[in-house]
A = this chain, B = another copy of it.
Amino acid sequence: VVTAHLESALDLAGLFAFAVSGALLGVKQRFDLVGLIVLGEVTALGGGVIRDLVIGATPPAAFEREEYVLVPLAASLLVFFAHGPLERLLAPVLVFDAAGLALYSVAGTAKALAFGLGGVGAVACGVITAVGGGVIRDVVAHETPAVVRQDSTLYAIPAFLAATIVAVAWSLEAYGPGVATAAAAFAFLLRVLALWRGWRAPRPRSRIG
């Protein structure tokens, strides 16, 4: 029960940050208000909806709990009216996004495990929960998804590591609020460090090299 509550709280805490990142991309692409709301909603909810469809938890939480739709709506409206200040606060927005990444990967993995998935499948679900919304955001905004680009700093890897920690702890029957918090904190710090120090994933050797 405690875990279930923690997961709800984790899920909710990431919504706002992801929606802001989606709506800000909408401003950059010169979309209209509908575009900002669409990007805010799909960024915040897309990963979790895919996870819930995969694990068979229909209707997905995003369609069952009103706050899941309303929090990203509020975030998108805030960006619509106040994107100037928000863009000047790009660093805070990236920190919020890192928090969302960390929280979603832990919550997504734990929910998949609770629905009976094995370790590998649950880790895949956790990563999809964390990065899926951003991929849909970039596809809808007609951009190459940030998560696959060479010039992007580590993003999926912190999510993957946190998901792996959760799955291993679960298999050892050691998963609980402490592990969840530690895994999320680890992913958050790794993501923030990657942003700060410009850490990138390895790239394939060039054809010339």
Contacts of A49 in B (CB 8 A): 54
Q: Which residues 4-37 of A sit at the B interface, judged by CB distance below 8 A?
A: 26-27, 29-36
A149 to B30, CA, bound (A): 8
In the complex, A80 has a CB within 8 A of chain B: yes
Contacts of A60 in B (CB 8 A): 54
Collect the chain B residues with CB atoms within 8 Å of residue A98's CB.
none
> Within 8 Å CB of A117, what residues of B?
59, 63-64
Asked if residues B55 and A58 are in contact (CB atoms below 8 Å), the reply is yes
Distance in angstroms between the alpha carbons of A69 and B54 in the assembled complex: 14
Which residue of the partner chain, among B27, B142, B149, contacts A143 with CB atoms under 8 Å? Answer: B142
Q: List B contacts of A69 (CB < 8 A).
A: 120-121, 124
Shortest C-beta distance, A139 to chain B (Å), equals 6
A142 to B146, CA, bound (A): 11
What is the number of residues of chain A that contact chain B, defined by CB distance less than 8 Å?
63
How far is the CB of A113 from the nearest CB of chain B, in Å? 12
Interface residues of A (CB under 8 A from B): 26-27, 29-36, 38-39, 49, 53-56, 58-60, 62-64, 66, 69-70, 79-80, 83-84, 87, 112, 115, 117-121, 124-125, 135, 139-145, 147-150, 152, 155-157, 200-205, 207
The 9 closest A-B pairs by CB, nearest first: A35-B148, A63-B121, A56-B58, A32-B201, A142-B144, A66-B120, A31-B148, A32-B203, A33-B201
